[in-house]
Amino acid sequence: MRRRAADYRRPVRRRLSCWIWSFLAIFSIAGFVLFVVHHHHVEQPTLERESRNEQAVHERMNLTQEMLSVNSYARQLAEQTTLAKAYIIIAKEHNNLHLAWELSTKIRSCQLLLSKAAMRDEPISLDEAEPIIRSLSSLILKAQDAHYDIATTMMTMKSHIQALEERANAASVQSMMFGQLTAESLPKNLHCLEIKLMADWLTKKSLQDFADERRNSPRLVDNNLYHFCIFSDNLLAVSVVINSTVVNADHPKQLVFHIVTDSMHYGVMLAWFLNNDFKGSTVEVQNIDNFTWLNSSYSPAVKQLMATDSRNYYFDGSQDTGVEPKFRNPKYIYLLNHLRFYIPEIYPQLEKIVFLDDDVVVQKDLTPLFSLDLHGNVNGAVETCLEAFHRYYKYLNFSNPLISSKYDPQACGWAFGMNVFDLIAWRKANVTARYHYWIEQNADRTIWKLGTLPPGLLAFYGMTEPLDRRWHVLGLGYDVNVDNRLMESAAVIHFNGNMKPWLKLHINKYKSLWERYVNQTHPHLQDCATH
């Protein structure tokens, strides 16, 4: 059978191929439409869920957490407020008062919203924040577009920053001065107590006779007993030091306390300590005015303290305004503060003594201090390298060749307040003469500015035995973060700083550590408690 010619064959397969391609095209179009519709329905709930999740996150945060969040409305409002305040200053300088008023109004609205959020302790919602953010943003853009170029803005802000720094420095100086005045002032109830005690001393002849009887007690020079010295004019503070020492002592009757005060408080101190029993311990009170040997001929410290220029420096605030107020504190020319360098002369028959400041509280038995081996050194003290007081270069001017040639700037400092002194070694090394030398060298106040610690660091250099830091813990008069475990283990805690526990300006959480040793049952204290 013959095959037909090609022209006469039926094109069946070609028609079938066209139908297949048409079907595939229709199927693809339908699939694309279904995909778009499905994607639209899936995307919308996802966006809604994301929006709801973001809102839920905001709702779980308080205002403080929200302010720290990068995406928070509160943070946006705070940053816009800061920027708007800057443009208010610039607008006022360009006499654009209307724009300044508009910005101020929006800032007040923003601050009101932030205050409400803080009071209710809830985050700011989008509905609350959006109107203010939008309006404040438009005003900021308006301010930028007006005529405030970057150079003008920078110069203006720089001048205002300088003005604010000057005001901040002035406020800091004023705050320091007020703090010093508060620290130096005597509360009314303590003043009342001193008046009552002075009246007792002047009117009760029996007290004066009793004082005469005890003045020459052999216990005062017995080296088999434990001797402590305190130099102060603060009656209640000294009483707490002695009371806390005897309460925590294993054998209080073996303790002897030597107090030196000024003539104004001599009778007050005697009236108090003669009328109160401190568990059988001995208390001696001396008047510094009776130390006739301590005069300007012997002591360069006394000579400088009595000099007219020294008194002008400390009392006349109108001169040399560049000097910090703390360097002018008159307490630094108070002779009682310098008596610590004359202990061997005050107590010539004693061999060892513990010096205590009047702002310490004793929490452990201190008699083991007397059996410590000082390895031939004069002074036993707690070093303060780990504290905020640091090293010698913090106290002394090492640009002075006298200092730089003899002392190590990295030498570890130590603290006055609780010190054990070997008076035999002191006399042998003639530490007081070294102190006199450095006082004379610092007549112009260029080696150190203030205090008794810098000359102490110089005089006792190479003669100080470091003690375990638990013997003496410092900082309770200025530091609110003293380690509780360290305080509990401390033999002596020290309220050094302006915030003394007997003042209204004190650190409240430490006050009970001091107040527990105040004799609240004394009738004079009860009478004066309401003052």
pLDDT of residue 107 exceeding 60, the answer is yes
* Most confident by average pLDDT, 142-146, 196-200, 302-306: 196-200
Q: How far apart are the first and last CA of the chain?
A: 141
CA angle 257, 258, 259 (to 5 degrees): 115
Task: Please tell me the least confidently modeled range out of 50-59, 119-128, 139-148.
Answer: 50-59
Q: Which of 142-146, 287-291, 327-331, 399-403 has the lowest mean pLDDT?
A: 327-331
Alpha carbons within 13 angstroms on the beta-carbon side of residue 307 total 13
pLDDT at 1: 46
Predicted local confidence at residue 492, as pLDDT = 98
DSSP 20-57: HHHHHHHHHHHHHHHHHHHHHHHHHHHHHHHHHHHHHH
pLDDT tier at 74, thresholds 50, 70, 90: confident
pLDDT of residue 457: 96
The model's confidence at residue 482, banded by pLDDT at 50, 70 and 90, is very high
pLDDT at 70: 47
From the list 123, 135, 119, the residue with the least C-alpha distance to 54 is 123
CA angle 521, 525, 529 (to 5 degrees): 110
Selected residue with higher pLDDT from 317 and 81: 81
Contacts 24+ apart (CB under 8 A), 219-223: 219/256, 219/282, 220/256, 220/258, 220/282, 220/284, 221/347, 221/349, 221/350, 222/256, 223/349, 223/350, 223/351, 223/352
- Count of beta carbons in the 10 Å neighbourhood of residue 77: 24
- Secondary structure of 414-450 as H, E, C letters: ECCCEEEEEHHHHHHHCHHHHHHHHHHHCCCCCCCCC
**Of all residues in the chain, what percent carry a pLDDT higher than 70?**
76
pLDDT of amino acid 57: 47
Q: What is the pLDDT of residue 496?
A: 92
Residue percentage of the chain with pLDDT more than 90: 46
Whether the pLDDT of residue 474 is over 60: the answer is yes
Confidence of residue 332 (pLDDT cuts 50, 70, 90): low
Q: What SS3 string covers 495-522?
A: CCCCCCCCCCCCCHHHHHHHHCCCCCCC
Q: According to the model, what pLDDT value does residue 181 have? A: 58
The count of other CB atoms within 10 Å of the CB of residue 171 is 10
**Tokens at 502, concatenated:** 């007997």
Looking at every residue in the chain, the average pLDDT score rounds to 82
Of the two residues 167 and 272, the one the predictor is more confident about is 272
DSSP reduced 3-state for 397: coil
Confidence band for 114, pLDDT divided at 50, 70 and 90: confident
Whole-number pLDDT of residue 505: 81
pLDDT over 60 at 420, yes or no: yes
Q: What is the pLDDT of residues 258-271, one digit of tens each?
A: 999 999 999 999 99
Other Cβ atoms closer than 10 A to 144: 14
pTM of the model: 0.68
112 falls in which pLDDT band (50, 70, 90)? confident
Q: Which residue has the higher pLDDT, 23 or 363?
A: 363
Q: Which of 124-128, 143-147, 181-185 has the lowest mean pLDDT?
A: 181-185
Nearest-5° angle of CA 115, CA 116, CA 119?
85
| Residue 425 contacts residue 343 (beta carbons within 8 Å) | no
pLDDT reported for residue 50: 47
User: Which amino acid type is present at position 503?
Assistant: L
- Measured CA to CA, the distance from residue 307 to residue 247 in angstroms comes to 43
pLDDT of residue 488 exceeding 90: yes
pLDDT score at 92: 80
The segment with the largest mean pLDDT, out of 173-182, 352-361, 445-454, is 352-361
Which pLDDT score is estimated for 318?
46
Would you call 158 exposed, middle or buried from its count of C-beta atoms within 10 A (0-12, 13-18, 19+)?
Answer: exposed
Backbone angles phi, psi at 105, to 5 degrees: -60, -45
- Of 141-150, 190-199, 287-296, 342-351, the least confident: 141-150
Lowest mean pLDDT among 97-106, 107-116, 382-391: 382-391
- pLDDT, mean of residues 458-464: 97
Flag the least confident range among 40-54, 63-77, 132-146, 388-402: 40-54
At 46, the pLDDT band (50, 70, 90 cuts) reads very low
Whether 348 has a pLDDT exceeding 50, the answer reads yes
Taking 80 as the threshold, does the pLDDT of residue 504 lie above it?
Answer: yes
